[in-house]
Amino acid sequence: MRQTKQRATLYALALIVLLIVVFIVTIIQDKKQALEEKISAHRALVRNSFELAMMDTQKGLHDLACTLSSNREIVDAFAARDREKLYQLSLPYFENAKRRGEVDTSGFIGADGTHFLRLQDPKKYGDNILQKRPLLAHAIQTRKPITTLDVTLFDVAIVTIIPIYKNEEFLGIFQTVANINRVQKRLDAHSGIKSAIAFDSQKLKTLLNDTATIHYKGYSLVSSNDPIFEHLPHSFSFQSTQRHTFDEHDYVIASRALTNYKNETIAMMICAFDITEYVQEYHKELRNLILFSLFLVGIVGIVLHYGFLVLIRRIDKDAQITRELNQKLSYQLHTDHLTELPNRNALIRDIHSSRFYALMLLNIDNFKEINDFYGHAIGDKTLIALARSLEAAIKPFPMQLYKMPSDEFAIACTESMGREQLESTRIEIVNYLESQSYDLHGASIYITMTMGMDIALNNSQKHTPTNLLTNADMALKAAKKRHLNFMLYDETMQIKQEYQNNILWSKKVKEAIKERRFCIYYQPIIDPKSGIVMEYEALIRMIDTDGSVVSPQHFLPAAKQSRLYPLISRFVIEEVFAILESTPHQFSINLSVDDISNIQTHEFLIQKLESSPHAHRIIFELLESEGIENYPEVSSFIAKVKGYGCRIAIDDFGTGYSNFAHILRLDVDILKIDGSLIRNIDTDANAQTILTAVGEFSKRLGLKTIAEFVHSEAVYNKCQELGIDYLQGYYLGEPKPLG
């Protein structure tokens, strides 16, 4: 019996030990698998972090290059070879970008390959390094934007090059560079990833100063931010992602080939992520498991069974945490936190990995006013409500919705659609959105949107994924500028030509101001009863380089856009006050509300009035359609100049914003009736009725009236018949120099 009992006990113990061994082996395998899953997750983290760091670095370079190459004054300075002005205009943008850690060096290179200006070293220019930098020669030859890795004189770098044109003339290129260590810094700061750059040892001798002291399998280490890269094991391979141990620390190490614009590998980036914590946790859990297993030898099988279940649950929990970590990382990177829609990062990812046939960008009209009036909380709720409406609007169609920064959304068409079908779909989406209203905490909000769209052309090199987004954005901005609710990008829409035309006239105005190629033409205003000239209206003209006289309708819009308009206004004021000294006539000067609001123009005018004994012979014509309803500022100006004896006329009365209330609220003396009412006054009964009412209104208020555009004898006679006080037009006298 004793032998049987012992044998049974031994068999039982052997069975228990066997069960424990099987249990331990199973748990070790599961723990090892959990550790491998964590390591795999961090391999993906290394890969994704590298892509994100590269994308952020390229974006900073691209933003600076586009900002400078699209700045009219900078382009003009480059075209004029004005290095000092180019440096002054460009330096603030460069320093801001460098302060943000986005750029290291930037410069302008002429079409002949000669360095015109280095922003980081403005005293060094005139050299030509096209032989040393084939990328620059390639950019000048192709005249296309390039973003790529390259080898500068000192390091591997990310380079963005933008060609610069003026009036279709190729001026050269703008190059902006960020050293590759900026990518390394982003990897370290954002994800705790250490990195190093390894260069082909043979190429290093021809491209860089060979200062590397560590060589490995034909590569030389030229840059690193951690000592681990100084002790790479012999088992390390650039071709695979591996786990290595250094000084009792465990790392996941991966390599990434760095290629240039020719797709040639110029270096290898080695990335390392410390997983020591996870490995230590793994070993600790194994030790605890063995101790616990030894303890289980003395207990019954049921306890062993329940202990096994507890450990299995713990393993499942670890695996679940790993999966949740990966999901959370991906969610934060590619999801808008407010609307929970895919964000711009997701669009950029998808636009390169998927086939999009069209892209629409939608911008909320006057969203700033919603934020300012209702507050940002309501603004956020509006964006959320609109996102839900957009999801419902595109649900029947093969489309994907994205939330862009600020108040913009993007809709990508994921299946091929004909233009007519795409236009019909777009209209259906717009109609659905315009039918919606949002009641948010008692505030009823109606939303209108402006849309820009680009359609990908089959087999078109011009329609790269990046161009699809860029062109849609250009169409959106053009629609906003032209006050349209939609524009489809088309190379024939002449957006670039419009930019070039504005640049041309801005340049002409700037040169004319510098060379004082402006003059004043004077048009008489006649008293029809006596035939006497009551006053002259001062009208600006520009003398072109060929001696031709240019009407203001050609150059004033460009002058206003380029902020040169105040200089022209001050020229007119100065010329009129000068002619006051030598003639006995009264003169009228056209002023806009912009002139009144401009501090320099306002002070210059008041100074002239104070210093002139003839200020009482000045009449200021205020344009009724340009902000005259800004009563406090306009009224203050009128009161001030009347203190010097000046009179006030309302110009173009009867157009656009005509409102008798303006006249009642402002202390004016004269109404100049717009030519649109006078042009056909001899045959237009409605115009005669309006003019009769204006005349009666003016007489009751003690105001004088002037009729513009008197171009014929019939119009002249009808104006006299209707009792207009003074007349002006080509029938009575054309604008011309006085004297």
The conformation of residue 563, written as its DSSP 8-state character, comes to: T
Residues 6+ apart with CB under 8 A from 464: none
pLDDT at 57: 87
The conformation of residue 397, written as its DSSP 8-state character, comes to: S
CA dihedral 223, 228, 232, 233 (to 10 degrees): 180
**Is beta strand 587-591 parallel, antiparallel or unpaired with respect to 533-543?**
parallel
The C-alpha atoms of residue 109 and residue 601 are separated, in whole angstroms, by 39
Residues 648/669, Cβ–Cβ less than 8 Å: yes
Residues 525/536, Cβ–Cβ less than 8 Å: yes
Q: Is pLDDT of 307 > 60? A: no
List beta partners, residue 119. none
Q: Is pLDDT of 5 > 70? A: no
Tokens 């180019």 -> residue: 86
Question: What integer best gives the mean pLDDT of the chain?
Answer: 83
Mean pLDDT of 34-54: 72
The C-alpha atoms of residue 65 and residue 77 are separated, in whole angstroms, by 16
Percent helix / strand / coil, the chain, rounded to 5: 50, 25, 25
Mean pLDDT of 25-33: 73
pLDDT digits (tens, 9 = 90+) for 190-209: 777 888 887 777 766 666 55
Q: 3-state DSSP call for residue 626?
A: coil
pLDDT digits (tens, 9 = 90+) for 286-300: 778 777 777 766 675
The C-alpha atoms of residue 187 and residue 271 are separated, in whole angstroms, by 9
Q: Is pLDDT of 59 > 70? A: yes
Q: What band does 710 get if pLDDT is binned at 50, 70 and 90?
A: very high
Residues 6+ apart with CB under 8 A from 590: 537, 538, 539, 572, 621, 623, 651
CATH classification for the domain delimited by 38-295, as one of 3.50.50.60, 3.40.50.12280, 3.40.50.450, 3.30.450.20:
3.30.450.20
615: nearest Cα among 587, 649, 651 = 587
Q: Where are the domains of the chain?
A: 38-295, 344-493, 501-727
501-727 fold: TIM Barrel (3.20.20)
The C-alpha atoms of residue 198 and residue 540 are separated, in whole angstroms, by 66
**Is beta strand 194-200 parallel, antiparallel or unpaired with respect to 115-118?**
unpaired
The C-alpha atoms of residue 414 and residue 419 are separated, in whole angstroms, by 14
Q: Is pLDDT of 458 > 70? A: no
Q: What band does 242 get if pLDDT is binned at 50, 70 and 90?
A: confident
pLDDT at 666: 81
The conformation of residue 631, written as its DSSP 8-state character, comes to: H
Q: What is the CATH number of domain 344-493?
A: 3.30.70.270
166: nearest Cα among 108, 113, 242 = 108
Q: Is pLDDT of 547 > 60? A: yes
The C-alpha atoms of residue 24 and residue 289 are separated, in whole angstroms, by 7
pLDDT digits (tens, 9 = 90+) for 129-145: 888 888 888 999 999 99
Least trusted range by pLDDT, from 89-103, 211-225, 465-479: 211-225
pLDDT at 540: 93
Q: Is pLDDT of 461 > 50? A: no
AA identity, residue 403: K
Residues 266/156, Cβ–Cβ less than 8 Å: yes
Half-sphere exposure at residue 635, Cβ-oriented, CA atoms within 13 angstroms: 10
Residues 155/221, Cβ–Cβ less than 8 Å: no
Mean pLDDT of 473-496: 80
pLDDT at 615: 94
Tokens 């590397």 -> residue: 212
The C-alpha atoms of residue 479 and residue 497 are separated, in whole angstroms, by 16
Q: What H or E segment, with its residue span, contains residue 203? A: helix 201-207
Widest CA span in the chain: 151
Q: Is pLDDT of 460 > 60? A: no
The conformation of residue 153, written as its DSSP 8-state character, comes to: S
The most confident of 17-21, 205-209, 712-716, by mean pLDDT:
712-716
Same fold flag, 344-493 and 501-727: no
pLDDT digits (tens, 9 = 90+) for 555-614: 887 788 778 889 999 999 999 999 999 999 999 999 988 888 889 999 999 999 999 999
Structure tokens at 705: 């009236």
Half-sphere exposure at residue 178, Cβ-oriented, CA atoms within 13 angstroms: 32
Q: What number of residues does the chain have?
A: 739
136 vs 152, more confident: 136
Q: What band does 619 get if pLDDT is binned at 50, 70 and 90?
A: very high
29 vs 580, more confident: 580
pLDDT at 244: 73
Q: What band does 657 get if pLDDT is binned at 50, 70 and 90?
A: very low
Least trusted range by pLDDT, from 100-114, 356-370, 497-511: 497-511
List beta partners, residue 250. 245
pLDDT digits (tens, 9 = 90+) for 405-456: 989 999 999 988 888 898 999 999 988 888 888 887 777 788 889 999 998 8
Tokens 């390390």 -> residue: 236
Q: Is pLDDT of 108 > 90? A: yes
Residues 456/435, Cβ–Cβ less than 8 Å: no
pTM, 2 dp: 0.42
Residues 149/157, Cβ–Cβ less than 8 Å: yes
58: nearest Cα among 131, 157, 124 = 157
Q: What band does 304 get if pLDDT is binned at 50, 70 and 90?
A: very low
Mean pLDDT of 467-493: 84
CB-count burial class (<10 Å; 0-12, 13-18, 19+) for 249: middle
pLDDT at 394: 92
